[in-house]
Amino acid sequence: MSRFRVCIVDYEVGNLRSVHNAISRLGYDARVSDSADEVRRADALVLPGVGAFEPAMRQLSASGLIGPIEARLSRGTPLLGICVGMQLLATDSEENGLHRGLGWIPGHVRRLRPPSGLGVPHVGWNDVRVLLPGSPLFARTGDGTHFYFDHTYHFECGVEHAAATCDYGVTVTAAVQRERLMGVQFHPEKSQAAGLRLLRGFFVAAGAPGPGPC
């Protein structure tokens, strides 16, 4: 077991068990925690999320962890947001009213409005077009890899922060990146081997030892 320490931020919103299982399968010391001390000790942070934006943002604010996370980010600790965890990085969201996000990556979370014939939410596998070839998120998967999506809202941001997109009748931001702050709209923990390769790429870029089998 590697001593590389991953903190999966527990703010009572998220697919914690599946995320923990996926990261542990890669051999990392993954800990689900709502402790500021665990955040401060982490070599990498993961912000999962399932459900609506406003309750997720409210729970994260109530956890008291935003300050410790910001402190770690300022010291270069990488963070990966997953699904709603990625959306929280935005400036705001229009889901069930207008709600402020963390504002760490400029952009807005909007409802999906695909052409008729395509259902909302967007659920299922979709191939991803990589816009930022140097992103560690896709160092082990490349362009056109399939990942599993399940969402009704999506993150609209500038091209400088869009690391990947997918086509669902409209262009959907599939991944964002601002230096060592990253996020994916899809669920790597549900994306089988491709998801594990993506996670491995993120953690190796974060300084985890050894390339591993994925």
**55 SS3 class:** helix
Q: Do 180 and 43 touch, CB atoms closer than 8 A?
A: no
Kindly tell me the burial class for residue 114, based on how many C-beta atoms sit within 10 Å of its own C-beta (0-12, 13-18, 19 or more): middle
Gap between the Cα atoms of 140 and 213, Å rounded: 11
Q: What share of the chain is helix, strand, coil (3-state, %, to 5)?
A: 30, 30, 40
The active-site residue out of 20, 154, 161, 187 is 187
Is 166 a known active-site residue?
no
The active-site residue out of 99, 154, 166, 189 is 189
Give the pair of three-digit tokens for residue 45: 């942070």
The active-site residue out of 83, 95, 99, 166 is 83
**Identity of the residue numbered 17:** R
Q: Do 164 and 175 touch, CB atoms closer than 8 A?
A: yes
Is 122 a known active-site residue?
no
Give the pair of three-digit tokens for residue 169: 């009748």
Q: Which residues are identified as catalytic?
A: 83, 187, 189
